[in-house]
Structure 1
């Protein structure tokens, strides 16, 4: 699990932690709470394409998007795109739709004095796609539990807050889109990244999410929960100022190819990289001339700040 794997390394470096106390009283013994088994617990039904959850990807009778809670194959169109890097590199990125700048909290449990999360304890979230405040990007909150804590005794946010356990709000951001069980996204930028789904807890039910760790992300400033942004320039088959234009018309591609000339201004190795992209749109009449960030920047820009989308880069050639 990405969150678990990065913690030992990240918490050994100098990261300032703002400690939030959920209760001024002494922690309780969680009387009446028994550990739950994730293997037998009920599972959350997830729908990323409902009108409440989706923005660019909203299910209609004709567009063929997967039904509610059906596994999603993100390795096929329209969820994977071939674009260009700042110097004309060939890149691929996933499309996880529009996301807010403000991250959502994810709670990771640690025994007092230890640097690694509690063995077998699933991380805890309190929002899923379609809920107000949901975001694929999560601000990690470190929960300190007693040394005798039993994994998966806490499986929802209400019990967590009632426990009185200390919570340390970190400046770490993780990109973990919540998806239906069985969903697949087989590409990752680093060979060390897991391609498997991770399980978590949501209201005593098991939830599934991807992990994308092509770049370690931090909040934009100390005390903030905002996700950093990078820039992308894109072009559509029909310009957005025309009828039927914009995203609904699809990206312009090279002849007999799925290669777009959508251009990102940073790559995962760059300090300024973020998978949360601020989308600007350039005139499709300039498509042939756009081959890198410089040429894209010199094109006729039709719209700025059109959307903020989660598009982690998973390959660069």
Structure 2
């Protein structure tokens, strides 16, 4: 029998529903966003394995014939029929949630302004373009690239995966369920997987919200598994992964509506004292942080090599290291030391200006060995 982490990881990468998206686990409730912020790029993020997927979805299937044409209960509908959640929803035709990662409620370092032109609500985001991807350095001078998904807290939100009684694999075709999206209190890109026990005759996608899970009295079993699944607008792209991770989007349920999210599985993540693990990153900006100067720090951008977008931001760990996490604890060093900082030893020797400036989700997707 596969260990539970492996089971969840396999399901997370499944694309059996025939769509270009896969559906993955997510969770609800959880604090998000701590750390200092201002406009500009900054990043560090933790990553996780064990994302989940929806697979095949029932299209208009009914359960036990309990449907009445035109009846409505609790707003759940399938081809006009609804029966208090007893009729499965079709993810292909269900309403989609509105996603805006750059609103004032959702963003910290990345908040949309007329000047920066960040994508609007529900507009697809190309994370392969600046300011969403950064070139940095590994602990031994490796060249690394990582995505920037903004400030997150160490408190993961819960994501709910459904298992039929007596079965070891999640319900085939069932999308995982979350209760928060960007902008909601408690949203986090990092999710703590929760196992939900459903009856043996449960039909996939009959339940599409945490409220329904609670109303039906299904047992919920916590796990130590953490997954890195940023919720993004449908059509968003982030084509780089460390290893052979799936680059497509996964679908999930949020209060009866469909959401899409990325899966970053470069490293298995487990709770550390009930929280998402962290690793250090050392960064420097064109203008050293100054509380009296709003154009300093992140707003001024990272220092880069002349004629290049290569920074000397140094990560403490890479995905092949045991303590790696894509949730980075940001330390800021003096830009006067930029030229001398080429690895973690150099970074530790540089003049430190700010320790623990923010926690950021920045999964590493490329590592090139140092020459």
Shared topology, TM-score over 0.5? yes
The match for 2:143 is 90
Look up the match of 1:47. 100
RMSD of aligned Cα (Å):
1.7
Q: Corresponding residue for 2:284?
A: 235
Question: Paired residue for 1:254?
Answer: 305
Match of 2:118 among 51, 65, 79: 65
Match of 2:350 in 1: 299
1:124 corresponds to: 177
Query: How far has the Cα of 1:32 moved from its partner?
Result: 2.8
Are the aligned partners of 1:46 and 1:129 in contact in 2 as well (CA < 8 Å)? yes
Structure-1 separation of matches of 2:166 and 2:366: 38
Does structure 1 conserve the Cα–Cα contact (< 8 Å) formed by 2:5 and 2:225?
Answer: no
State the distance in 1 between where 2:6 and 2:287 align: 43
**Which of 216, 227, 232 is the matching residue for 2:268?**
216
Kindly indicate whether structure 1 or structure 2 has the higher relative contact order, using CA contacts under 8 Å at least 6 residues apart.
2
The alpha-carbon deviation at position 143 of structure 1 amounts to 0.6
Alignment partner, residue 285 of structure 1? 336
Structure 2 Cα separation of the partners of residues 208 and 92 of structure 1? 23
Question: Which residue of 2 is the match for residue 110 of structure 1?
Answer: 163
Cα distance change, pair 61–214 in 1 and its aligned pair in 2 (3 A): same
Q: Which moved more, 1:112-121 or 1:78-87?
A: 112-121
> Does 2:238 align with 1:185?
yes
Say which SS state the counterpart of residue 163 (structure 2) adopts.
Answer: strand
Deviation at residue 6 of structure 1 after TM alignment: 3.9
Partner secondary structure for residue 355 of structure 2: strand
Secondary structure at the counterpart of residue 50 of structure 1: coil
Give the aligned partner of residue 256 of structure 2.
204
Q: 1:105 to 1:164 in 2, by over 3 A?
A: same
Q: CA deviation at 1:68?
A: 1.2
Which structure 1 segments of 5+ residues have no match? Answer: 12-28
Does structure 2 retain, via aligned residues, the 8 Å contact 1:56–1:97? yes
Q: Which among 130, 133, 145 is matched to residue 77 of structure 1? A: 130
Q: What is the DSSP-based 3-state SS (H/G/I as helix, E as strand, rest coil) of the residue aligned with 2:265?
A: strand
What CA deviation, in whole Å up to 9, does each residue of 1:204-249 have, x standing for no partner? 000000000000000003xx2x100100000000000272210000
In structure 2, distance between residues paired with 1:6 and 1:69:
33
How many residues end up aligned between the 2 structures?
293
* Structure 2 gaps, min length 5: 12-63, 67-82
Larger strand fraction of residues:
1
How do 1:155-166 residues align onto structure 2 when only pairs under 5 Å count?
Answer: 155-166=208-219
Q: How many angstroms apart in 2 are the aligned matches of 1:177 and 1:312?
A: 11
Deviation of the 1:144 alpha carbon: 1.0
Does the aligned pair in 1 maintain the 2:105–2:183 contact within 8 Å?
yes
SS in 2 for 1:305: coil
Q: Is the 8 A contact 1:8 1:115 kept in 2?
A: no
